[in-house]
Amino acid sequence: MPANTLNASAAPSKLNLIGLEQQALAEFFEGLGEKSYRARQIMGWLYRRGVVKFQDMTDISLRVRRQLDLVATLDLPRVIRKEESSDGTRKWLLDVGSGQAVESVFIPEPNRNTLCISSQAGCVLDCSFCATGQQGFNRNLSAAEILGQVMIVKRDMGPDVALSNIVFMGMGEPLANYRNVVPVAKLLVDDHAFGLSRRRVTISTAGLVPQLTRLGEDCNVALAVSLHAPNDSLRDELVPINKRHPIKELLDACWCYAEQLASRQVTFEYVMLRDVNDSPEHARQLIKLLRDRPAKVNLIPFNPFPGARYECSTASVITDFCERLRSSGIVATIRRTRGDDIAAACGQLAGQVRDRTRVRLGDKTFRSVRL
């Protein structure tokens, strides 16, 4: 039984049931002397119907609802601010306590609606082209805080707007918060919760290889890898985790993961930085890495943020880079920039990170941080 479900009635504070997997919920109810099927009931009310008050769960007896009120809670993050872009993209700033706030982004498209969620307050990985990385790092989000983002957006968008895709591409490195991200991902694909296809849930990583290896065994959802450079010397500069897990080690883990995927394909994110990683030679190096592999490349025009030292590649350079990949047989797309007028585009999420440790990958203190 997970530690946070033991002796719930004796706990000094109420247990937040949001984000607990079905087995953990079942054990929680058994600890209260109730049948394990109560877990499926609660999940249906929470994730299918969006009900977050025990008193409104009418097919659960009044006695049980009163007991739940004493020992458990269904707390969601508080919405601080909502913004809407001219292109329909929406962003939520959510209070996660102690002066910290994170951002979630809803991106509507003709054939799908994508929600981008955060997993940390700040980020420890310090990628040089990302606003979140420049904030420093405060803490991991709990499973309730991560899944709460999905629930809040579903509530605000209403029953007529379905979330077809969930991507862990907001603030933070998801695999650095493995213990909380994986249970949420499992709930997103659980038929008793959100019931999404595994192909519709994507976990992104900048390259935490040990956690990536575990992920293939624990939760086989879609994978996106923040590559951004085709050689180690440049990637060391752009994505400092590369110093710990260089490209070959990362790609070997990716190909092993792809063997377990239903789609057998890994998406590689590649931000286009003017005169940094966008030359024909960079394209040739990338082709050498990915040709004849189960790889898709998503080229991302760089989105500026205050203090950024990069510029976006020109449209013609991005198009040429993409065509070089395609002509070699690699599936390649160019991401359309969405929500940049409200700082909701890829790489722009900053949230509100206060009392931060300022720990980053490049700091001398980084080795003391457990990933």
Q: Is the pLDDT of residue 89 over 50?
A: yes
Task: State residue 57's pLDDT score.
Answer: 97
Question: Quick check: 268 and 297 in contact, CB under 8 A?
Answer: yes
Q: Is the pLDDT of residue 38 over 60?
A: yes
Strand partners, 301: 272
The pTM of the full predicted model, rounded to 2 decimals, is 0.90
All domains of the chain, ordered by start, with CATH?
A: 14-73 (1.10.150.530), 97-368 (3.20.20.70)
Q: Identify which of 117, 96, 95 has the alpha carbon closest to the alpha carbon of residue 106.
A: 117
Q: Quick: pLDDT tens for 309-331.
A: 899 999 999 999 999 999 999 99
Highest mean pLDDT of the ranges 5-19, 94-108, 115-129, 144-158? 144-158
Q: Are strands 120-122 and 137-140 parallel, antiparallel or unpaired?
A: antiparallel
Question: Quick check: 117 and 135 in contact, CB under 8 A?
Answer: no
| Mean of per-residue pLDDT scores for the chain | 89
Task: State residue 356's pLDDT score.
Answer: 47
Q: Quick: pLDDT tens for 265-299.
A: 999 999 999 999 999 999 999 999 999 999 999 99
Question: Catalytic positions, please?
Answer: 103, 346
DSSP strands (E only) in the chain? 15-16, 72-73, 78-84, 90-97, 100-109, 112-116, 120-122, 137-140, 165-168, 201-205, 222-226, 266-272, 295-301, 331-334
Task: State residue 342's pLDDT score.
Answer: 74
Q: Is the pLDDT of residue 345 over 90?
A: no
Task: State residue 59's pLDDT score.
Answer: 92
| Chain centroid, CA 79 distance in Å | 19
Residue range 203-226: mean pLDDT, rounded:
94
Q: Quick: pLDDT tens for 121-154.
A: 988 888 888 877 777 788 899 999 999 999 999 9
Q: Is the pLDDT of residue 83 over 60?
A: yes
Q: What is the distance between the alpha carbons of residues 253 and 251, in angstroms, rounded to a whole number?
A: 5
